[in-house]
Chains A and B, each alone.
Chain A
Amino acid sequence: EVQLVESGGGLVKPGGSLRLSCAASGFSFGKTWMSWVRQAPGKGLEWVGLIKSDTDGGTTDYGALVKGRFSISRDDSRDTLHLHMNSLKTEDTAIYYCATVHVFSLNFWGQGTLLTVSS
């Protein structure tokens, strides 16, 4: 059974940094592209970014609103995905989901972790 468990959310002051993690199990994590998606309270889904598998180059792509502030990394030895967030703004407040990427869709999602950016 595929499981994705996000962690690391919490309350951060504007301008601060935080790292979110996503522990994966039940599938070949190292062969799977992974993505982060966020959802602000009462709003729609917003794509944050993705990281390809190492066999596909391990490269990353990001949404326009986070590019240059957020970065995604993966630790295939621990089946864990990370989202490194810097220069946080109040508008980054959201539930952050990790998801697997397969055949052009995000086919499994975690339960999400809440980030609140507030002074």
Chain B
Amino acid sequence: SYELTQPPSVSVSPGQSASITCSGDNLGGKYVSWYQQKAGQSPVVVIFQDDMRPSGIPERMSGSNSGNTATLTISGTQPMDEADYYCQTWDRNTVIFGGGTKLTVL
């Protein structure tokens, strides 16, 4: 079965850029979405179709997808960006989630 691999944790200083990766076989040939989940809240989509931002999502969130790796980049990271982030794709009509990455802003 298809798998997506994310680093368990990423740390970043406020104002710096954070990159969270998501790896899967030929992932660049699939669409990737990213979800932000803050403590005690439901997930929110922050990137869809690799690099599209839903309305209301700040421009500092961006996405890319090529080869075997998709990347969520948060520029000028703010304390409010501290959350768990999940990548997601599709494989044969099934939804696949990565294991999630805890972003710590310290």
Residues of A within 8 A of B (CB): 35, 37, 44-47, 50, 61, 63-64, 97, 103-107, 109-112
Once bound together, how far apart are the Cα atoms of A63 and B1, in whole Å?
11
State the Cβ distance, B6 to closest chain A Cβ, in Å. Answer: 9
Q: Which residue of A lies closest to B46 (CB)?
A: A105
Once bound together, how far apart are the Cα atoms of A59 and B72, in whole Å?
32
Given the known interface contacts A105-B88, A110-B42, the answer about A46 and B97 at a Cβ–Cβ threshold of 8 Å is yes
Q: Which residue of A lies closest to B52 (CB)?
A: A103
Once bound together, how far apart are the Cα atoms of A104 and B97, in whole Å?
13
Of A44, A47, A106, the contact of B99 (CB 8 Å cutoff): A44
Once bound together, how far apart are the Cα atoms of A45 and B45, in whole Å?
13
Residues of chain B within 8 A of A103, CB atoms compared: 48-49, 52
> Assuming A47-B97, A63-B95, what are 16 further A-B pairs, CB within 8 angstroms?
A44-B84, A44-B97, A45-B86, A46-B97, A47-B95, A61-B93, A63-B94, A97-B43, A103-B52, A104-B31, A104-B90, A105-B31, A105-B48, A106-B43, A106-B95, A110-B42
Residues of chain B within 8 A of A109, CB atoms compared: 42-44
Number of inter-chain CB pairs below 8 Å: 59
Range class of the B interface residue count:
20 to 34
18 pairs, A vs B, C-beta closer than 8 Å: A44-B98, A45-B37, A45-B100, A46-B97, A47-B94, A47-B96, A47-B97, A50-B95, A63-B94, A103-B52, A104-B33, A104-B90, A105-B31, A105-B49, A105-B88, A106-B45, A107-B54, A109-B44
Main secondary structure of the interface of A (DSSP, over half): strand
State the Cβ distance, B66 to closest chain A Cβ, in Å. Answer: 17
Residues of chain A within 8 A of B1, CB atoms compared: 64
Once bound together, how far apart are the Cα atoms of A103 and B89, in whole Å?
11
